[in-house]
Structure 1
Amino acid sequence: MSSKVAVIGGGTGFIGQALCKSLERNGYKTVAVSRNPGKSTITWKYIEQEGLPKNTEIVINLAGEPVLNVFKRWSASFKKEVWESRISTTNTLKNAVLCSESPPKLWGSISGVGFYPPSSTLVYNEDSKPGSNDLWSDLTHAWENAGKIEHKNIRHVVVRSGVVLAKSGGALPQMLIPFKLGLGGPIGDGSQWFPWIHIDDIVGIFMHAIQNNSVNGVLNGVAPDAKTNQEFSKYLGSVLRRPAILPMPSFAVNMLYGPERGIMLLQGQNVYPKLTQASGYKFVYPTLENALREASS
């Protein structure tokens, strides 16, 4: 059994499971941190009380309550859950990292492209400034600030993720249903940017950071093939051989998700992975068509 341990906050989620499998293929023993104890899983309370397991070399936090869950009403309590599931878990793991007698080599965390303000004209890279005065930019900014550390022997990497495309988990399975019924189309007017990434690449970026000591700081977890929502819908319809002409009106989006969540679907950012590519990462799925063909097959 490997003596190298990787602790993954949210390791039971769909990104976390994929990352754990990749780590195990590369010789790590993985320990997922979850609200529910189980095999190869410890609780957040355990981390708070006992700290990191022995021989921990990698700590990455992917935890966060899914936001676009139509089965959960956008209430004050759910908003608090969305916030605390990100900030509190990040603080818990960061404190465990800093208190460890044998600190891990890498402390990593995930964030979102909501860090950047919505725009139809600007192109953002990792050096661009954050948005302000809206829920999502405030959340992602606080999320990243919670994870910041200053330790000469610990690298810190933050991956700002776009919409992750995967066969199971994430947004794509929900999106496939109307398209397969011939009822698919753009959201709103479709002009908003739709930053996306394939599951193999979001995992690949984290593995790239783990395996390369020169990688540090913020990396945009988006593919270099930027598309608007309308373009994304056309590609998805083409891959599925289904029409993509029935838009979901803005008022319907706001009725279904609430205005604060609806803005995530009705507005977007054109985000480019400048530093991700400059660090030497090569995308497995750099183009949308190939990513959709794999993820929807």
Structure 2
Amino acid sequence: MRILITGATGLIGREIGKVLAEKGHDLFVVSRNEKKAKELLPFPCQVIEGDLSHSPLVDSRLENIEAAINLMGEPIAGSRWTEEKKKKIYDSRVTATKNLVQSLPKNLKVLVSGSAIGFYGNSGAEVLTEDGVAGQDFLAKLCKEWEAAAARAPGRTVFVRTGVVLARQGGALDQMLFPFRSGVGGVLGNGEQWMSWIHLKDIVGLFLLALENPQAHGPMNGVAPFPVTNREFSESLAYAVGSRLGPAIPMFVLNLLFGELAQVLVTSNRGCADKSREWGYKFHYDELKEALGEICAPFKQGEEVFVAEQFVSVPPEKLFPFFKEAHNLEKITPPTLNFEIENMSTPEIGQGTRIDYRLKIHGVPAKWKTEIDEWQPPFKFVDNQLKGPYRLWHHTHEFRPFCGGTLLVDRVRYRMPMGYLGWLMASHFVRKDVENIFAFRRKFIASESFHSHI
């Protein structure tokens, strides 16, 4: 099918796009910036430029769209709710969905639109089925209008009322990890409020179910079968990261920190997953402890993990030669690092090659020695730090054949120097540095200059 995706560069959108591309669908993505989107998207697609929060799209390619997945939306959490923030949240969902529906062809087969478990408002311990009525707070009213806007689309419509999405990198858990790994993460308020959660792999599966199963229609709770209280969640997360539970955070502190958003953080939603299971979905992660165990395993060992993905429209055998040339690594590293190779133990990179290089980290000179632990051209190589600023730096470079091109996957495992103290003091800054390094790399690989080298 020809499928349009909004919000494709987000946590869920990237994963859905990869699955749909691998299944052979033709994908079209809406973005305000085509160049930026192609840097971030890990799957082949055509980009339709536009800002749906301001106006409908105008593009002839929309006439042939058969299905649409609507994932766009300004982040709900992360900062205090000002009137300007609330307007952005509203416009990026309700206004944008109205404009999306106007942009879609009349013969559209299906629209799967995001919503949130917050549709039901603060519901205490009540088990929430899709027949429940909307709540009265800002988020509940927002979801109600959001779904109503999507319901005007031609064809079959499904609204996925998503709970708290758990993933190793990105999403709500990303913001919780530091305090819980520090030993100061605690329950919110009295901890009795119910939390409806779902693993990233399962929310992707539910969106695909909604897209592909003609039985699916109307609202569907995008939650795992067994919700937990905030206290249970907090205790499970502390255990999963190998830490202890910190003191509870009272409501007056949450109100001081987050203002109106504080009420959302302690809203009780006990979502039911019966409908998705009736429609044939089998969950990968039913239980919270299993989900958190899979996600947090590296953290329990004191490791950080960073993963970057990028699609390149050439096969691995044409792409790999660029990366096996050691000095090309200098081209894909930010100039601010002053990265320079000093010595190699072999004329060309191969199994066992040792590489000495120097760089500057925030202006401080550093020496680094790595060894190629694995060498599997044209699909994979691994470099491991022998000497350098980290206790561990293990970088896996994968070149996966994907949709006629290559899915570049960089997976970095690292540990900070000075143990827990080093992690506490520097992990946030190092994470930002790593993100910036790979942002620069993505930009270079998406450029015409890179393609002229291959």
Q: Is the 8 A contact 2:121 2:267 kept in 1?
A: no
Q: Is the 8 A contact 1:11 1:31 kept in 2?
A: no
Number of equivalences: 285
Instruction: Work out the CA distance in 2 between the residues paired with 1:62 and 1:135.
Output: 19
2:65 is equivalent to residue 62 of structure 1: no
Instruction: Work out the CA distance in 1 between the residues paired with 2:125 and 2:24.
Output: 44
User: Compared with structure 1, are the counterparts of its residues 249 and 45 closer, same or farther at alpha carbon in structure 2 (3 Å cutoff)?
Assistant: closer
Q: Is the 8 A contact 1:126 1:274 kept in 2?
A: no
Instruction: Work out the CA distance in 2 between the residues paired with 1:295 and 1:31.
Output: 30
Q: Aligned-pair distance for 1:36?
A: 2.0
2:132 is equivalent to residue 123 of structure 1: no
Q: Aligned-pair distance for 1:37?
A: 2.0
Counterpart in the other structure of 1:5:
2
Q: Aligned-pair distance for 1:228?
A: 0.4
Instruction: Work out the CA distance in 1 between the residues paired with 2:238 and 2:68.
Output: 39
Counterpart in the other structure of 2:117:
113
Instruction: Work out the CA distance in 2 between the residues paired with 1:271 and 1:161.
Output: 10
Q: Is the 8 A contact 2:58 2:103 kept in 1?
A: no
User: Compared with structure 1, are the counterparts of its residues 291 and 51 closer, same or farther at alpha carbon in structure 2 (3 Å cutoff)?
Assistant: farther
Counterpart in the other structure of 1:42:
48
1:141 paired residue among 121, 141, 144: 144
User: Structure 1: any 5+ residue segments left out of the alignment?
Assistant: none
Summarize deviations over 1:8-65 as a string: whole Å, max 9, x none: 1111111111111111121112222122223343223595222653542220111000
Counterpart in the other structure of 1:20:
17
Counterpart in the other structure of 2:245:
244
Match runs of 1:1-297 below 5 Å: 4-38=1-35, 39=38, 40-45=46-51, 48-50=57-59, 52-53=61-62, 55-70=64-79, 73-97=80-104, 100=105, 103-132=107-136, 134-149=137-152, 151=154, 154-258=155-259, 260-297=260-297
Q: Is the 8 A contact 1:117 1:131 kept in 2?
A: yes
Q: Identify, as 1 or 2, the structure richer in strand.
A: 2
Instruction: Work out the CA distance in 2 between the residues paired with 1:148 and 1:159.
Output: 12
Instruction: Work out the CA distance in 1 between the residues paired with 2:60 and 2:180.
Output: 46
Percentage of pairs with the same residue: 39
Summarize deviations over 1:100-158 as a string: whole Å, max 9, x none: 26x232111010111113122311111111112x211111111111111364xx21111
TM-score (norm 1): 0.91
Aligned structure 1 segments of 4 or more residues deviating by more than 4 angstroms: none
* Aligned-partner SS, 2:169: coil
Q: Is the 8 A contact 2:62 2:103 kept in 1?
A: no
Identify the structure with bigger relative contact order (alpha carbons < 8 Å, sequence gap 6+).
1
Tell me the amino acid that sits aligned with residue 53 of structure 1: L
